[in-house]
Amino acid sequence: ERLETVHLTIQSIAQGTVRPSRLVLALDSPLPDELPQGLQRMVDRGVEIVESAGRYGPHTKYYPYLCANPESQERLVTADDDVIYPRTWLEDLRAASDRHPGDIIAHRCHRIGVTSVAGRPEIRPYNSWEPCRTTEPSHLNFLTGVSGVLYPVGMQRALVREGERFQDVSPKADDVWLNWVATRAGVRVRQVRSAPQNYSTVMSTQKVSLLSFNVESNENDAQIGSTFDETDLHYLVQLSLTAKKVDE
């Protein structure tokens, strides 16, 4: 049903102050026999549609592209299909990436909440995490894809290496998988501004959404627990303690 409105998101990106060199919409197979009129207009203007052989859910926004372009030297920017992006959205991502080419650049991040209970590291419940309030890069910055994310080539290579294991540990939480891969690959996450950005949503698309599944039903916590192991938790706790000492 989102095919009826996705042209609004695409149009907002195309009207930006900076345009992407390619604008790709990935769809699960089989493709519809006929595209909605609004989407067909976008295709006529140059939007590419890629058919995904897998049923990757939210991972469809990046994984089929990486499979088709495993050696790409271009930066990859992902966008959700139900958001209206402001005109400087892509320009701001590109400018931050130009200054910090090795980092993942995001418009919206949380700060991973970690603690240690009786010497055992734990990640706090997702719904208790604070918004990111810094432009400094860190593996404690948890990117959220809804407001748009830019991935450097190094991160793309890491995602290709890890393959489809996300199907087993976080099939409905692409953000969890992407942050875990970034941590393991040593690629830090940097927020564009010191406050996370939230953009307008096409409300008619929200009858079925990952927000209600992952956040409101606390499914993010289960998928975080499946993805991040004790080694990851020890690292994040140590990182958090170091960050607190710096703040003090």
pLDDT digits (tens, 9 = 90+) for 35-51: 999 999 999 999 999 99
* pLDDT surpasses 80 at 216: no
What pLDDT is stored for residue 248 in this prediction?
A: 47
Contact indicator for 139, 236 with CB cutoff of 8 Å: yes
Dist CA 190 CA 136 (whole Å): 6
Contact indicator for 172, 213 with CB cutoff of 8 Å: yes
What pLDDT is stored for residue 20 in this prediction?
A: 96
Dist CA 133 CA 59 (whole Å): 27
What pLDDT is stored for residue 119 in this prediction?
A: 79
Output the pTM of the full model.
Answer: 0.93
List the beta bridge partners of residue 189.
104, 138
What pLDDT is stored for residue 203 in this prediction?
A: 72
Q: Per the structure block, which two tokens stand in for 247?
A: 């703040």
Q: Per the structure block, which two tokens stand in for 57?
A: 């859910």
- Model confidence over 121-131: pLDDT tens digits? 999 999 999 99
What pLDDT is stored for residue 29 in this prediction?
A: 86
* pLDDT surpasses 80 at 210: no
Dist CA 110 CA 133 (whole Å): 9
* pLDDT surpasses 70 at 222: yes
Q: Is the dihedral of CA 82, 85, 91, 93 positive or negative?
A: negative
* pLDDT surpasses 90 at 213: no
Q: Is the dihedral of CA 160, 96, 149, 183 positive or negative?
A: positive
- Model confidence over 167-196: pLDDT tens digits? 999 999 999 999 999 999 999 999 999 999
* pLDDT surpasses 70 at 237: yes
Phi-psi region of 220 (alpha: psi -120 to 50; beta: other; left: phi over 0): alpha
Q: Quick one: pLDDT band at residue 56, thresholds 50, 70, 90?
A: very high
* pLDDT surpasses 60 at 208: no
